[in-house]
Structure 1
Amino acid sequence: MAAPSPTDQRNRKLLGRLSLPERRFVADALRAETVGGVLLLAAAIAALLWANIPALTSSYDSVRNFHIGPGALGLDLSVQHWAADGMLAIFFFVAGIELKRELVAGDLRDPKAAALPVIAALCGMAVPALVYTLVSTLGNGSTDGWAVPTATDIAFALAVLAVIGTSLPSALRAFLLTLAVVDDLFAILIIAVFFTSEIDFVALGGAFVGLVLFWFLLRKRVRGWYVYIPLALAIWGLMYNSGVHATIAGVAMGLMLRCNREDGEEHSPGEHIEHLVRPVSAGLAVPLFALFSAGVSLSGHAIGQVFTRPETLGVVLGLVVGKTVGIFGGTWLAARFTKAELNEDLAWPDVLAVASLAGIGFTVSLLIGELAFAGDDVLVDEVKAAVLMGSFIAAVVAGIMLKIRNSRYRDLTEAEERDEDLDGIPDVYEQDKPDYHLRMALIHEAKAAEHRRRAEVAAGSSGDGDSPA
């Protein structure tokens, strides 16, 4: 029987305790994302230094604009394009697997349980887009960048938590992860629908045939990386040449993997491949994209433009204000209309802090900024600076709110991990079992008896030493 989800309406609990298998999956996934987030943060800082130190600026531009690749296949691309179109395809491949797993085994498998993260994510994308459009329209700016502040970067958010030394209870972490997965899905749809101009139907047809073959081989249980990697590269190349953004190929292949476990399987093929590919995505692909995309000028004039130009101000306010209001408001409305009670261990300010943390929209926001204003290099760099500034402000605000509650989070996390009977299962998951309290009483009695024995031995030793010869 499927384990209850964090938002199981039968329990009428909002952000309740995760099932044990889900908690372990979330812990493993976020551990890899945290490491990748720290590398992402380091890559972003390196890019900013490389692009802003006068002696190094020209070399940065030379490296990221250097072209390499087979021109005959339409793949003579700059290093920056290889990072954005090639490396991020790996990132979206992992996102596709995560989405598939959520649909068949996670929060999104049950429509009632999926309501909260889906509504929160949709509101968390609609409100930032509305804020950007309103600010840009009132300032007579371009509305082309409406999608830039709609993204959430889970890796960067977790890196912020790691840097400030703040822990989150597993329910809040799962909520943030599910938000990011749904967010990625809609970001993919936005890229596919709004940032595809001219389509080469021959190349697109070839990519479609390749995807069908990919699905057929999976269905027939054909194994071997030497089969799938060349096929995946061919699909990616055809998708790129079709005019549809190449990252769509990554998510399409990720969605085709089987993520439900069959009898005798410890991990499904999707979970196994995700475990292998996630370190490549989080540790290599995304940091390389950041290294060649985050290098923008941070001069006084450029920073001033962020807060005076309508497009860039719309991005900052969309990330800082729009994301927070959208996610918090969507969560509150979902709870209000489903009459679900908030987990008694948490408070609404905790949801507000996580909503603010979701305003860190680094990776996908940078990508959409490049697509939205392609051809205007100056505006692209200014929008990137706005993404960095908005993400930084959101991180600071969320960090302050989370720090205030950090002692409470630490207590909750310790309670979730406590295993006094050393059976490998945290005690909070056994408290409803009939023999649990008897077993715990016996353990505490044994500990007390051992303590008394040691005290008696110590007292006896002391007495022997003081007695006359």
Structure 2
Amino acid sequence: MSIDPIEHPAHPGPIAKFADSLRSDTVGGFLLIGAAVLALVWINSPFGDIYESMRSFRIGPESLHLNLSLETWAADGLLAVFFFVVGNELKQEFVHGELRNPRRAMLPIVAAICGMVVPAAVYAAINFTSPETLGGWGIPMATDIAFALAILAVIGRGLPPALRTFLLTLAIVDDLGAVIVIAVFYTADINFVALGIAIVGLAIFGYLQRGRGLAAKLNSSPIPNWLVYLPLAIAIWVLMHESGVHATIAGVAMGLLMRTNKHEGEHHDPSHGMEQLLRPWSAGLALPIFAFFSAGVVFDGFGEVITDTAALGIIAGLVGGKVIGIVGGSWLTTKLTRAELNPSLKWIDLIGMSQLAGIGFTVSLLIAELSFVGAEHHLAHAKTGVLIASLIAALLSIFILGSRSRHYRRLAAEGQGPTAPSDANQGS
């Protein structure tokens, strides 16, 4: 797969400047958070019915089982573009960046697993004597990677870049774990035929990325290779969706299969070319629309919520369980194995980042819907619990990481501390 190099003229026009600004996580973060706030205000206003009607409007071919609501198209379709960019960035880190060192790559992976197990255990402990709510144990396992990265981008100026890499790896593993949990425990049927064909499609995608043999002929042919890759990517997404596995996994998988090394005659590797192309679309279109349609949660106030063990388990799991699981699991791993924390990070940085991981939001809301089918009473409380927990986790992370950001900026001004870009990330 070869993408023509993106030219940067000496005097770029307004569209080029806007696209470049969207490659900054900070700008994309503000757009995403703004869209989420707009949705929350709108759904809880007297005009909430208009928002709900728009969100539930269905479009798409029924014959392909794709007559979906706009909310589903945003969560399964547009979000797959974001997950492709994230998977692609993670691949770059594994091949060329921070995660090349197995001793450091192990830590966020173990942290992610512990950050799923402990919140689920906290929820189960609180709901152990309540069989009707015990099934919601999967709700506090999730981390909303889009919101977590957006908040880190907004508050993370001066923080060591290794912190973002840690969060990125942790959140990807967390999301994969959540998808497995949904598939095994919350999905009645998996279409293994569709899943198998999707895997075959991914194998073809990976083979073409090698750029040799048949793939080399494709890349050197006069036919634009997007005519091959785009239909293949769409087919993989449709098949993954049809299989019953969350369709965004198709985006992650294709991102992780991208080639990050240049071949002879190439101006740049396909991974960086696709990142340059897709990151503005991801940050400027996919994520804000996703946030707008997903963040519309009706807030019913505290009321009965504080007495419902489902809501209490969710809040305790996301706010406390995530920190205990991630930080505790990481600390034990460094003591029991050769894994190590990046020298540029301190444990207080990890505590602040683990609070970001407590923003469950979209995936938690999805698992809540699957957990309390037909139990509207508990479902409403569970959704409110997710909203409260995510807000508390976000505020705590802003407080901790905001103070750490000021600390690192002060060290940088004094010529000390880790070298960090002015933004949380400007693209890999």
The Cα shift of 1:405 comes to 3.9
Q: Which amino acid aligns with 1:238?
A: L
Q: 2:53 aligns with which of 62, 72, 76?
A: 62
The answer as to whether partners of 1:296 and 1:381 remain within 8 angstroms in 2 is no
1:318 deviates by 1.0
Contact 2:76-2:247 within 8 A present in 1 as well: yes
Structure 1 segment 37-436 matched on structure 2, within 5 A: 37-54=29-46, 56-161=47-152, 167-219=158-210, 220-221=215-216, 222-223=218-219, 224-262=225-263, 267-300=268-301, 303-338=302-337, 347-374=346-373, 379-414=378-413, 415=415
Q: Secondary structure at the match of 1:137?
A: coil
Deviations 1:67-102 (A, max 9, x none): 111112221111122122222222332333234334
Identity across the alignment (%): 54
Aligned 8 A contact 2:104 2:342 in 1 = no
Q: In the aligned structure 2, how far is the partner of 1:119 from the partner of 1:140?
A: 30
The alpha carbon displacement at 1:377 in A equals 5.6
Q: Are the structure 2 counterparts of residues 333 and 266 from structure 1 closer, same or farther at C-alpha, using a change threshold of 3 Å?
A: farther
**8 Å contact from structure 2 (residues 156, 401) kept in 1:** no
Deviation at 1:169, TM superposition (A): 2.5
Partner SS state of residue 133, structure 2: coil
SS of the aligned residue for 2:358 comes to coil
Query: 2: distance between equivalents of 1:181 and 1:136?
Result: 28
Whole-angstrom CA distance in 1 between matches of 2:418 and 2:292? 40
- The alignment's TM-score, normalised by the length of structure 1, stands at 0.73
* Alpha-carbon distance in structure 2 between the residues aligned to 1:418 and 1:112: 20
Counterpart amino acid of residue 325 in structure 2: G
Which structure exhibits the higher relative contact order, with contacts defined as CA atoms closer than 8 Å and separated by 6 or more residues? 2
Residues 101 and 241 of structure 1: CA distance in aligned 2, closer, same or farther (over 3 Å): same
Could you report, residue by residue, the CA deviation over 1:274-315 in whole angstroms, capped at 9, with x for unpaired residues? Answer: 332233233322322222222121133xx3344322222211
**Secondary structure of 2:137 counterpart:** coil
Name the structure 2 match of 1:447. Answer: none
Residues 192 and 248 of structure 1 are in contact (CA less than 8 Å); yes or no, is this contact kept in structure 2? no
Rounded Cα–Cα distance in structure 2 between residues aligned with 1:161 and 1:204: 34
Displacement, 1:195? Answer: 4.0
CA distance in 1, matches of 2:157, 2:305: 29
1:325 is matched by which residue type in structure 2?
I
Contact kept? 2:155, 2:405, Cα under 8 Å: no
Contact 2:31 2:284 in 1 (8 A): yes
Residue 7 (structure 1) aligns with: none
1:286 partner amino acid = L
* 1:278 aligned partner, one-letter code: R
Q: Partners of 1:268 and 1:58 in 2: how far apart?
A: 48
Q: 1:395 to 1:208 in 2, by over 3 A?
A: closer
Aligned-partner Cα distance in 2 for 1:29–1:149 = 34
> CA offsets per residue over residues 234-255 of structure 1, 9 Å max, x none?
2222332233332232223223
1:252 partner letter:
A
How many residues in Structure 1 have an aligned counterpart in Structure 2? Answer: 391
Structure 1, unpaired ranges of 5+: 1-27, 420-424, 427-469
Amino acid at match of 1:78: S
1:30-41 aligned at under 5 Å gives the runs 32-41=24-33
State how far apart, in whole Å, the 2-side matches of 1:38 and 1:216 are: 38
Question: Over aligned residue pairs, what C-alpha RMSD do you find?
Answer: 3.4
For the residues of structure 1 that align with 2:37 and 2:138, how far apart are their CA atoms? 24
The residue type paired with residue 194 of structure 2 is A
SS of 1:411's equivalent in the other structure is: helix
Shift in Å at residue 390 of structure 1? 0.8
TM-score, normalised on structure 2? 0.79
